[in-house]
Amino acid sequence: MEIIKNVKGTHDIFGGESNSYDYVESIMKSIAELYAYNGVRPPVLEYSQVFSRGVGESSDIVRKEMYTFPDKGGRDLTLRPEFTAGIMRLVVQNKLYATNELPLKLYYNGPVFRYERPQLGRYRQFNQFGVESIGNNSAMNDVEVIALAYTILCSLGLEDVTIKLNTLGDDESRNNYRKALKEFFANHIENMCEDCKSRYELNPLRILDCKVPEDQEIVKDAPSIGNYLTEASKLRFEDVQDALSALHIPYEIDESLVRGLDYYSETVFEFHYKSKTGQDYGAVGAGGHYGKLMMELGGPELPGVGFSFGIERIVSVLKDDGLLVDKNNELDCYIMPLGENERLFAEEVAVLLRNSGGYRVDMCFDKTKVGNMFKRASNKGAKFAVIVGEEEAKNDSVVLKNLATQEQETVKLENIIDKLDEFFDSQEEETQK
């Protein structure tokens, strides 16, 4: 019978790769917690309006990329294409903003869905980790969010991350800029792509993001936002830059950075990293400040700032640069019962080592030759073979064999954890030297 394959644009994560995702996500989570963020888990399914109102009708995501469908009750639902709008819905609905402890600092982690053309670093189901800091409008809040993202990337071992930084200014700045862009593109739009034609009507800033080479030529000469910023937005952006410099966080200004989601205002940023193989997976993360998103979703006018990392892209660059350890092939002990009668005792040893010792332990369940068991122990990367024969079972003991040195000794069950602790502690001391 023909086998059924995974859906186009999705990917299976298994073996050592699954450990890599756990590792990356655990570093992200632990650093977000150091910055006093708390986790939230909004549902994957939302009413489509959350995104059409939140992310914006003119964004590519809402126009072309959402997995939207009516459910059996006729509700218009969407698999989340990003987290921020759903989190804002959660905050508004549960009135989490009604606290004196603003900003509200939330982190999230999970799959998102976008109907995009699959290619290197681009999937239709992928995983994001990100944060939102809601209810404080200061430039320092933007800076702290950028610092958090930068710390995470450094902790994962990524050196030379490029932070691209821009400002989209406040409403007045963007209105002035939009007008200037409309005037500029009025003479060109006839010859530009269909997407740009609708962007021209809906949100001309998005034209700056067009990837069509002929359109990019035209975009090169477009006016830049810097000349249309209000005094307040200019000062705010200077504050962001001064603080980043004071914290020794490197950045470069990129005036073409407009971001694909409509809710952004003031500071926007992207994180780029080229792996040592030269492979470019696109931005590993991105984010920015938003002024009106909560209001668009029926809440009070509270601003926020956040970022989102693409876990697939981060795992890819870490793998390319040899910064991941394959934990799949690591085992502390492999238990080898030599006969049928020793199986139960062997299982008791396994439970003891796992539950009281905290060791990663596997056991041979098959009737097979001792030689085969040793082969399996070595294939699984075991440090010790724990051999249980008739004599040992009778005497509440095991034979503990160090598979690297081939040294072995009989150890009483009551001493086995101390023996293993001694070995692993001394190994840890060695690696710290």
Establish if 305 lies at the interface with ligand AMP (CB under 6 A): no
Nearest by Cα to 36 from 128, 110, 145 = 145
* Longest CA–CA separation in the chain, Å: 92
Residue placing its CB nearer to ligand AMP in the complex, 204 or 285: 285
Can you read off the two tokens belonging to residue 226?
Answer: 């810097």
Peptide bond into 300 cis (omega under 30): no
Residue placing its CB nearer to ligand AMP in the complex, 53 or 401: 53
Establish if 164 lies at the interface with ligand AMP (CB under 6 A): no
The one among 46, 195, 266, 312 contacting ligand AMP by CB under 6 A: 312
Cβ 308 to ligand AMP shortest distance, Å? 4
The one among 11, 29, 63, 122 contacting ligand AMP by CB under 6 A: 122
What DSSP letter does each residue of 162-218 carry, written as one string?
Answer: EEEEEE---HHHHHHHHHHHHHHHHTTGGGS-HHHHHHHHH-GGGGGG---HHHHHH
Cβ 199 to ligand AMP shortest distance, Å? 16
Triad 11, 17, 21: Cα angle to 5°: 90
CA 351, CA 333: separation in Å to the nearest integer? 12
Q: Determine the residue type at 193.
A: C
Residue placing its CB nearer to ligand AMP in the complex, 122 or 188: 122
Residue placing its CB nearer to ligand AMP in the complex, 63 or 376: 63
Site for ligand AMP in 241-300 (CB under 6 A): 260, 283-286
Question: Mask 190-229, x = binds ligand AMP (CB under 6 A)?
Answer: ----------------------------------------
Residue placing its CB nearer to ligand AMP in the complex, 85 or 218: 85
Region for residue 64 given its phi and psi (left: phi exceeds 0; alpha: psi -120 to 50; beta: otherwise): alpha
Q: Which stretch binds ligand AMP (CB under 6 A): 100-108, 222-230, 242-250, 304-312?
A: 304-312
Count of positions on this chain that bind ligand AMP (CB under 6 A): 17
For residue 358, which phi and psi values (nearest 5 degrees)? 70, 25
Number of residues in the chain: 433
Please name the helix (run of DSSP H) or strand (run of DSSP E) that holds residue 90, with its range, or none.
helix 84-93
For residue 148, which phi and psi values (nearest 5 degrees)? -60, -50
Q: Which stretch binds ligand AMP (CB under 6 A): 69-77, 123-131, 357-365, 380-388?
A: 123-131
Residue placing its CB nearer to ligand AMP in the complex, 290 or 384: 290
Establish if 306 lies at the interface with ligand AMP (CB under 6 A): no
CA 333, CA 336: separation in Å to the nearest integer? 10
The one among 19, 20, 308, 316 contacting ligand AMP by CB under 6 A: 308
The per-residue b/e assignment along 406-430, b for 16 or more CB within 10 angstroms, e otherwise, is: eeeeebebeebbeebeeebeeeeee
Residue nearest to ligand AMP (CB): 310
Cβ 271 to ligand AMP shortest distance, Å? 7
Cβ 56 to ligand AMP shortest distance, Å? 13
Nearest by Cα to 205 from 252, 256, 279 = 256
Residue placing its CB nearer to ligand AMP in the complex, 293 or 399: 293
Residues whose CB is less than 8 angstroms from the CB of residue 294 and which lie 6 or more positions away in sequence, other chains included: 88, 91, 92, 97, 134, 300, 301, 302, 303, 304
Cβ 76 to ligand AMP shortest distance, Å? 22
In this structure, what is the dihedral angle of CA atoms 68, 74, 75, 80, given to the nearest 10 degrees? -20
CB 258 within 8 A of CB 166: yes
Establish if 123 lies at the interface with ligand AMP (CB under 6 A): yes
Residue placing its CB nearer to ligand AMP in the complex, 262 or 392: 262
Residue placing its CB nearer to ligand AMP in the complex, 170 or 280: 280
Cβ 312 to ligand AMP shortest distance, Å? 5
Establish if 110 lies at the interface with ligand AMP (CB under 6 A): no
The one among 313, 343, 383, 401 contacting ligand AMP by CB under 6 A: 313
Residue placing its CB nearer to ligand AMP in the complex, 116 or 255: 116
Q: Determine the residue type at 177.
A: Y
Q: Which residues bind ligand AMP (CB under 6 A)?
A: 82, 114, 116, 121-123, 126, 128, 260, 283-286, 308, 310, 312-313
